[in-house]
């Protein structure tokens, strides 16, 4: 690879080069004047010294002015690119340089712009999806509320419309709750309010909380939980289990089965949730933890696409890891791993 000088050495070499070049040009001019016109500036040493010094400085300044444009061109390009990014143009790129520091600066700038472009795209998608998810139940509530004002409406119809309004209202409540929880988690760097509690009991409570949902679909549950105490924020981890279980119930057909296990495997706490539901394709698996992403584009299944995003954020905050394995029509398996260091004996 071509060896490159760092910025400090490059500046020293540049200044030294200008000095040598200036002296050389002055010396050459003096020699030519003396040789061609028989004019010697060296007879008066004091005058000759100042004359050569003045000429050298003038020539050096001129050369520096010409070459400095080349030296600072990468910086000018970076300034111009920064101005474009400030205006919202994230397609700009900055070319590298033979100087390592400037090359590193250009590389870091290009990486920053790519990340900003990704963040901007996520922001736009978030706003669009949030607007859709928030507007849909409001429109539904408004429409059925108008229908309830009709005088010839039957009791059964009115009851049906009221149930829809209640359901859509709950959907708004769930959406706002998930947005607030996600916002809180995203602004959290260190988990506080930790306590020592039984993790297996917490998971059992989450299963009981969702009992109306899995009972309504006649799901059978195979629960195998090892007794494990953990030192962590119980309210945060409770959201993990509830959201994972709710998601599994939602996408499992009537009469399906859920397998839930908790073990210590390979020096880590391992929670596993397996269903025999609809499963996911490759594209859905890739984006399942993104905000508002829903594999069911028809929105036939009620959801807001924030539950699994919240799960991922909390698990990452706990220095854990979550994996999903799924195939269409063969169900899905979510595995949450938490560091064994978080475990505490009873």
Domain coordinates of the chain in residue numbers? Answer: 7-89, 127-186, 196-342
**Would the pLDDT of 75 be above 90?**
no
| Mean local confidence (pLDDT), 242-246 | 90
| Mean local confidence (pLDDT), 260-287 | 86
Give the pLDDT of residue 345. Answer: 45
- What is the C-alpha to C-alpha distance for residues 24 and 21, in angstroms, rounded to an integer? 5
Question: Residue 325: enclosing H or E segment and its boundaries?
Answer: strand 321-327
| Mean local confidence (pLDDT), 306-321 | 85
Report the range of poorest mean pLDDT among 37-41, 205-209, 254-258, 304-308: 37-41
Percentage of the residues of the chain whose pLDDT score is greater than 70: 64
How sure is the predictor about 84, in pLDDT bands with cuts at 50, 70 and 90?
A: confident
Q: What is the mean pLDDT of the chain?
A: 76
Q: What is the DSSP string of 40-80?
A: -SSSSHHHHHHHHHHHHHHHHHHHHHHHHHHHHHHHHHHHH
**Would the pLDDT of 138 be above 80?**
yes
Q: How far is CA 314 from CA 72, 183, 216, 274, 291, in A?
A: 46, 11, 29, 20, 14
**Would the pLDDT of 300 be above 50?**
no
Give the pLDDT of residue 35. Answer: 60
Give the pLDDT of residue 261. Answer: 94
Token match 């590298």: residue? 96
- What is the C-alpha to C-alpha distance for residues 339 and 320, in angstroms, rounded to an integer? 6
Neighbours of 332 (CB within 10 A): 24
| Mean local confidence (pLDDT), 176-185 | 69
- Which residue would you say has higher pLDDT here, 145 or 90? 145
Report the range of poorest mean pLDDT among 26-30, 176-180, 243-247, 316-320: 26-30
| Mean local confidence (pLDDT), 45-54 | 58
Architecture of the domain defined by 196-342: 2-Layer Sandwich (3.30)
Neighbours of 181 (CB within 10 A): 19
Give the pLDDT of residue 104. Answer: 78
The matching CATH number, chosen from 3.40.50.720, 3.40.220.10, 1.10.287.130, 3.90.245.10, for 127-186 is 1.10.287.130
Query: ∠ at Cα 183 (182, 185), nearest 5°?
Result: 65
How sure is the predictor about 167, in pLDDT bands with cuts at 50, 70 and 90?
A: confident
Percentage of the residues of the chain whose pLDDT score is greater than 90: 13
How sure is the predictor about 47, in pLDDT bands with cuts at 50, 70 and 90?
A: low
Give the pLDDT of residue 1. Answer: 38
- Which residue would you say has higher pLDDT here, 332 or 137? 332
Strands 331-339 and 268-275: antiparallel
Token match 């260091």: residue? 341
How sure is the predictor about 262, in pLDDT bands with cuts at 50, 70 and 90?
A: very high
| Mean local confidence (pLDDT), 235-259 | 89
Give the pLDDT of residue 3. Answer: 44
| Mean local confidence (pLDDT), 315-328 | 88
Strands 268-275 and 220-225: unpaired
Cα Rg for the chain, rounded, in angstroms? Answer: 35
Neighbours of 324 (CB within 10 A): 16
| Mean local confidence (pLDDT), 182-188 | 65
């Amino acid at each position: 690879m071509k060896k490159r000088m760092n910025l400090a050495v490059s500046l020293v070499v540049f200044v030294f080069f200008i000095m040598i070049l200036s002296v050389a040009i002055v010396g050459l001019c003096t020699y030519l004047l003396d040789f061609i016109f028989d004019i010697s500036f060296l007879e008066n040493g004091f005058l000759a010294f100042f004359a050569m010094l003045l000429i050298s400085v003038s020539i050096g300044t001129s050369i520096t002015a010409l070459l400095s444009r080349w030296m600072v061109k990468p910086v000018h390009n970076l300034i111009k690119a920064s101005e474009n990014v400030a205006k919202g143009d994230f397609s700009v790129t900055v070319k590298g340089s033979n100087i390592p520091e400037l090359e590193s600066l250009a590389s870091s700038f290009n990486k920053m712009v790519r990340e900003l472009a990704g963040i901007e795209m996520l922001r736009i998608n978030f706003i669009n999806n949030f607007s859709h998810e928030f507007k849909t139940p409001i429109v539904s509530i408004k429409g059925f509320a108008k229908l309830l004002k009709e005088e010839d409406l039957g009791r059964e119809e009115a009851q049906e419309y009221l149930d829809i309004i209640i359901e859509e209202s709950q959907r708004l409540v769930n959406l706002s709750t998930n947005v607030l929880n996600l916002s809180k988690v995203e602004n959290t760097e260190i988990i506080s309010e930790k306590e020592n509690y039984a993790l297996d009991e917490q998971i059992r409570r989450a299963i009981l909380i969702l009992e109306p949902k899995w009972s309504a679909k006649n799901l059978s549950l195979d629960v195998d939980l090892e007794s494990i105490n953990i030192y962590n924020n119980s309210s945060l981890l409770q959201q993990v289990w509830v959201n994972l279980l709710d998601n599994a119930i939602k996408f499992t057909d009537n009469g399906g089965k859920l397998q839930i296990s908790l073990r210590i495997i390979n020096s880590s706490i391992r929670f596993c949730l397996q269903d025999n539901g609809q499963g996911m394709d490759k594209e859905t698996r890739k984006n399942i933890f993104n905000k508002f992403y829903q594999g069911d584009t028809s929105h036939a299944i009620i959801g807001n696409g924030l539950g699994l995003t919240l799960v991922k954020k909390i698990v990452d905050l706990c220095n854990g890891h979550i994996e999903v394995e799924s195939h269409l029509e063969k169900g899905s398996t979510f595995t949450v791993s938490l560091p064994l260091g978080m475990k505490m004996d009873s």
